[in-house]
Structure 1
Amino acid sequence: MLASSGLFVCFEGGEGAGKSTQSRLLRDWLEGQGYAVLLTFEPGDTEVGRQLRRIVLDPATGELSDRTEALLYAADKSEHVDAVVLPALARGEVVITDRYVDSTLAYQGAGRALTSAEVATVARWATHDLRPQLTVLLDLEPAHGLGRFEDRDRIEAESEAFHHRVREAFLQLAAETPGRYLVLDARAPVEEIAAAVRQRVVPLLANARRTTPGPGERRAQP
């Protein structure tokens, strides 16, 4: 299911790929163009989600059943979509999320010893099968991304083999529906990546609400 109003954009990729940076840059640019924008993230951008995030990422949690971990992430996504994403889209806003369903499919469906189809069924059900109009995949070799962290959470601390499986899963998802993905080399200059993202987003803004005229546009006379 694609949103009928607003625009839903997702940034995906492995650890240290620059998703948060590019999400913020896109938000700032869109707001400068006069659009109403909501910047959000998973896991943890709801009150329930913050508690779930602590459980799944805190090293003190220790070992979790793979199914338990997948269900906790699905619960975070369900609350996030119902409480944050869908209301903003209904208002006609551009919703930009740092991680979404693809992360569950890659990390829990490929990284863990779970059946990808089963994980997909749970994650899609939890999110009403709501899919972004555009997913930006920032592709990066795990060794490059993980080298940016000194202290690692439960997921970051997994083996390099785990993170390679995650990377391959992201690339496979993008290859299956290339029209809804933009795959970029995360090692490229930050502004070069941001420009490529803006170029892809502009044609998708027809249903997005503006709060002010964009640069160079005149406000209509009453």
Structure 2
Amino acid sequence: MTSTDHDLFELSPDGPAGIHRTMADRVTVEIHRLIIMGDLEPGSALPIRDLADRFGTSSMPVREALRRLGGLGLVEITPHRGARVAETSVEDLEDTYRVRLLLEPLAVAAAAESVDDAHLDRAADALARHNAAIDAGDLDRARTAHTEFHFLLYQGAASRWLQRAIEPVWQNSDRYRFAASGREKDRSRAEHTEILEACRAHDATAAEAAMRRHLEGARDRIRAAMLARRG
């Protein structure tokens, strides 16, 4: 994978071999993981001093980490009141997926036109690891492999700006995705396979349609899970 911003969140805290992580990077990775996995719930306060003690660092890396996560919409920072985990809502879910539906089908369609088999083999390996982690109940590893699978496809579009546009809405949708991780697991697997095979066939129209169905299905499953919890 290339050294893009999403590597900071989706790979291990130590990063890929040969890439140095600053303390701010490491703290960002860990706070991000805690938010995505639900250990830091929506609305939770994020006291800088407490987080610094938790991670064994000074306040500066924590401030930088919260600033970065604020830029992704995962953290809300209010002057003189501090930071807290951003709230979730059905409205925000739908808005997030509205943007994803504009960008990600476009990315896989572009990838399908030119991506090579070696690149798709790497995506297939990531998908296999995602499925195995889901079966094992390891949602943290499943999340990482799921992101790797998708972004390997998006990298195949050979558009740095398109990938950059996808990253922030992807990060926000990650807060919602595993709320529905146990719902229709087989359907999600079939959708992923359909996208991958359309790319292998270099069928841009089929890849775009498959990605659109996948995103719409994920949005609907997550929305149903959120409404069920409310009810």
Which of the pair has the greater relative contact order for Cα pairs under 8 Å at 6+ separation? Answer: 1
**Range class of TM-score, shorter chain:** under 0.3
Scaled by the length of structure 2, the TM-score of the pair is 0.25
Give the structure with the larger strand fraction: 1
Scaled by the length of structure 1, the TM-score of the pair is 0.26
Give the structure with the larger helix fraction: 2
